[in-house]
Amino acid sequence: MKADLLLHDVRIVTMVRGRYGLIQRGAIAISGAHIAWVGELAALPNVDARKRIAGRGQLVTPGLIDCHTHLIYAGNRTAEFEERLQGATYEEIAQRGGGIMSTVLATRRASPEALAAMARPRLRALLSEGVTTVEIKTGYGLQLDAEVRMLEAMAMLAEDHPVEIFRTFLAAHAIPTEYRRRPDEYVDQIVHTMLPHIAELPPEVRPDAVDAYCEGIAFSVEQTRRIFEAAREHGFPLKVHAEQLSNLGGAALAAGLNALSADHLEYLDALDIPVMMRAGTVAVLLPCALYYLREGRRPPVDLLRRRAIPIAIATDANPGTSPCFSLLTAMNMACILLGLTPEEALAGVTLHAARALGRANRLGTIEPGKQADLVLWDVETPAELSYYLGYTPKHRVIKRGVVLS
Ligand SMILES: [Zn+2]
């Protein structure tokens, strides 16, 4: 058998079916961008490899996937952080022109080049922890041109980084100030102008999915439904921000339309679960946002577990409610704050995160035929990846079969 790269003397955490599936003394043969063979070293067929890496017992995991971020934005929200620490509420801050609209105003003024330049160090922080795929949302433009500039900034980031970027269109992130008294007209804008336009964008900027924030402070279930039905007509997979501050039924609505994922879910209840099960909709939990907001309510992890709903974990990296650019921190918080096991947390940033992006056929596990996105960690156990706070174990990254570091 011929291979471009052979990893041997490695312990392999395959994450097949979301379990460690540990192979104690294993090997992985990579051909081009894909995994050609994986298994016990003792069973390895004769391999003619161009390059070999002896892992010396290093632990190999799939490349990590951050499946929910808002890391492209302009402006600075630290004043709001300080105000909130003094007891100001989100509503008071919004009335003073702060909150999300301050990010929107700054982002609307920025060029795609400037947005990409601001996002680069944030992306680099994620990549420095073994992240090989990142989802990024628009949603700080809230006007067609500004939303498209965010998509263009994503394309620029994809050009200078080997990371894979999944682009999500989130014009339904908030109701812009100019539409505050006539939100349905903004929904009309999204349905009749924005979606038809972005559906025709060239492949390197066309979004991979459409998302909406279904919440009392954002879009109603009915408005979200209009946006999602239009998005589906243009062939876009769906994602939703739902049940974060209250239970409106956004997760069930999205799952009923076969959404890839429903995200946040602090207020999800048992009645919402069967439709998610049927659709295979992934529950994306965002513990860093819950931490920053000092939210007391927890997503119903036990209920999700019992019904075998796949649980993904993401940073929700954003300037307002989760200025967290560390997926390992999100894994730790998923264990400490949400009660996940380290194995579930790792599944949440590998296989289940891949499912939340509709890419589980290609990403998220170590199996023959999958893309060779791998991380070789200097750790003794996979639980170490959820264990530390503010410490990244030494590691090497392989993306599409290429050794990056
Ligand atoms: Zn979000």
pLDDT tens string 71-86:
999 999 999 999 999 9
Q: How far is the CA of 264 from the centre of ligand 1 (A)?
A: 8
What does pLDDT average to over the chain?
A: 96
Element spanning 175, H or E: none
Provide the pLDDT for residue 94: 73
Provide the pLDDT for residue 114: 98
Q: How far is the CA of 393 from the centre of ligand 1 (A)?
A: 27
Q: What pTM was estimated for this model as a whole?
A: 0.97
Assign 97 a pLDDT band (cuts: 50, 70, 90).
confident
Q: Read off the amino acid at residue 265.
A: L
CB 264 within 8 A of CB 244: yes
CB 1 within 8 A of CB 44: no
Report the alpha-carbon distance of residue 348 to residue 205 in Å, rounded. Answer: 27
Provide the pLDDT for residue 10: 98
Q: Read off the amino acid at residue 173.
A: H
Assign 117 a pLDDT band (cuts: 50, 70, 90).
very high
Q: How far is the CA of 24 from the centre of ligand 1 (A)?
A: 38
Q: How far is the CA of 189 from the centre of ligand 1 (A)?
A: 21
Q: How far is the CA of 48 from the centre of ligand 1 (A)?
A: 46
pLDDT in tens, 174-228: 999 999 999 999 999 999 999 999 999 999 999 999 999 999 989 999 999 999 9
Scanning 1-111, the segments in alpha helix (DSSP H) are 78-85, 90-95, 100-108
Q: How far is the CA of 330 from the centre of ligand 1 (A)?
A: 14
CB 73 within 8 A of CB 25: no
The strand pair at 311-313 and 402-403 is best described as unpaired
Mean pLDDT across the stretch 338-359? Answer: 98
pLDDT in tens, 256-304: 999 999 999 999 999 999 999 999 999 999 999 999 989 899 999 999 9
Provide the pLDDT for residue 397: 97
Provide the pLDDT for residue 98: 80
CB 153 within 8 A of CB 119: yes
Q: How far is the CA of 328 from the centre of ligand 1 (A)?
A: 18
Instruction: Please give the sequence-ordered ranges of beta strands (E in DSSP) within 157-196, or none if there are none.
Output: 164-172
Q: How far is the CA of 241 from the centre of ligand 1 (A)?
A: 6
Residue 170 has pLDDT above 80, yes or no: yes
Q: Enter the tokens of residue 113.
A: 């080049």
Provide the pLDDT for residue 101: 92
Residue 212 sits at φ, ψ, to 5 deg, of -150, 150
Q: How far is the CA of 96 from the centre of ligand 1 (A)?
A: 22
Instruction: Please give the sequence-ordered ranges of beta strands (E in DSSP) within 290-342, or none if there are none.
Output: 311-313
End-to-end CA distance of the chain: 26
Q: How far is the CA of 22 from the centre of ligand 1 (A)?
A: 33
Report the alpha-carbon distance of residue 219 to residue 221 in Å, rounded. Answer: 7
Instruction: Give the residue from 169, 310, 312, 280 showing the smallest Cα distance to 232.
Output: 169
Which of 91 and 318 is assigned the larger pLDDT?
318
